[in-house]
Amino acid sequence: MHEGGEDEAAVGRVMAGETAAFSGIVARWQGPLVNLAYRFCRDRGRAEDMAQEAFLRAFRRLGSWRRDAAFSTWLFALAINSYRDEMRRYRPEFVPIDDDVAMVESAEDAAGEAGRRVLVHKAVQSLPPRYRDPLVLFYFHEQDVAATARSLGLPEGTVKARLSRGRSLLESKLERRL
Amino acid sequence: MKRDDINRILSAEDEITPSPAFLASVMDAVAREAATLPPLAFPWARMLPAILAVIAALVVAVVHGVVVLGTPTTGKLLESSIQVATLVERFQLHWVMLGVAAAIFSPVISPILMRERSYA
């Protein structure tokens, strides 16, 4: 049975009252959902908490999945909404990107690859959500604009425009430092 | 840092693996959720007679008002006013109206007051 078929069968069983069948869905999608959460929060423990909340939300709303869209599309859209709510609720204390850079420079060489990676991820997190979310999803979906647009429920043109603006903001934040 | 560098770093994201206990933890939460009784639905069927009665009373009041206002003599209007005042006094309707108004406005006013207090 193909992956989508397995999901559809599992959803049918859960809807019929067999709660344990939901474990198949969690087993199949735990990797992607935890990794996606990690790209938003950069904290492994918190990423698992966020993914758990997304799975719970999916369990509650399983009946709202219309079978005309792929289960994965529905699940990612739901997870992104959940992560966005979570990031809004427990927003880390605002730290300007320049402060982060100073911290990195004191801990390790900011010109090194590890330092650069930290800086870029911090810069992504510091973007407004309308630019941060498309960027995170675009790279999560291996640079597939259509998949990013489906996950966000936005037209592809809007996603392209936000990606472009997001990249420009990132460049302007980072070019001053390195 | 140039756009190519940013693109390269964001493309080369490390994958993390969920902890071995993650699946069990999610399923525990799901089982708890499934065991929780769903919230009680609002009893619309039981409310229906009351809603119909209120609508009928409103229609009667409007029709009566139109008839009274359409009558040219002021005596008729005065007579109706006295009838209404008598009804209000007999059934203490002014207290009922005050209670209904308080019930309607308290959910509206409370958040406003709380918001003002939180900004104070």
Residue A167's pLDDT is 92
Q: Does A154 touch chain B (CB under 8 A)?
A: no
Q: Which domains does chain A have, with CATH numbers?
A: 3-89 (1.10.1740.10), 97-175 (1.10.10.10)
Q: How far is the alpha carbon of A132 from chain B, nearest alpha carbon, in Å?
A: 12
Interface A–B counts its CB contacts (< 8 A) at 81
Q: What is the residue extent of each domain of chain B?
A: 51-119
Say how far apart CA A151 and CA B23 lie, in whole Å.
23
Tens digit of each residue's pLDDT (9 = 90 or more) over B77-94: 777 788 888 888 888 888
CB contact under 8 A, A117 and B5: no
Q: How far is the alpha carbon of A40 from chain B, nearest alpha carbon, in Å?
A: 12
pTM of the model: 0.67
ipTM of the complex as predicted: 0.79
| Radius of gyration in angstroms for the set of CA atoms belonging to chain A, rounded to a whole number | 18
User: Would you say residue A129 has pLDDT above 50?
Assistant: yes
Contacts 24+ apart (CB under 8 A), A97-103: A97/A122, A97/A123, A97/A126, A97/A173, A98/A176, A98/A177, A100/A126, A101/A177
CB contact under 8 A, B23 and A26: yes
Say how far apart CA B120 and CA B117 lie, in whole Å.
5
- Which residues of B are less than 8 Å from A177 in CB distance? 1
Cβ neighbours, 10 Å, residue A59: 19
Tens digit of each residue's pLDDT (9 = 90 or more) over B9-59: 898 888 899 999 999 999 999 999 988 877 677 788 888 888 898 898 889
Q: Is the dihedral of CA A48, A79, A35, A97 positive or negative?
A: negative
Residue B65's pLDDT is 78
Say how far apart CA A98 and CA A123 lie, in whole Å.
9
- A-chain residue closest to B29, CA distance: A56
- Which residues of B are less than 8 Å from A118 in CB distance? none
Instruction: Kindly report the average pLDDT of chain A as a whole number.
Output: 85
Per-residue pLDDT, averaged over B50-78, amounts to 80
Q: What's chain B's length in residues?
A: 120
**Residue A2, token pair as written in the block:** 């193909």
Per-residue pLDDT, averaged over A48-73, amounts to 92
Per-residue pLDDT, averaged over B57-81, amounts to 77
Instruction: State how far Cα A10 lies from the chain centre.
Output: 24
| Radius of gyration in angstroms for the set of CA atoms belonging to chain B, rounded to a whole number | 31
Residues with Cβ within 8 Å of B6's Cβ and at least 6 positions away in sequence, in order, are: A120, A167, A170, A171, A174
Helix, strand or coil, per DSSP, at residue B112: helix
Per-residue pLDDT, averaged over A34-63, amounts to 94
Q: Which of A25-39, A146-160, B6-20 has the lowest mean pLDDT?
A: B6-20
- Which residues of B are less than 8 Å from A178 in CB distance? 1
For an interface test with B, the pick among A11, A18, A26 (most B C-beta atoms closer than 10 Å) comes out as: A26
For an interface test with A, the pick among B3, B5, B9, B11 (most A C-beta atoms closer than 10 Å) comes out as: B9
CB contact under 8 A, B1 and A178: yes
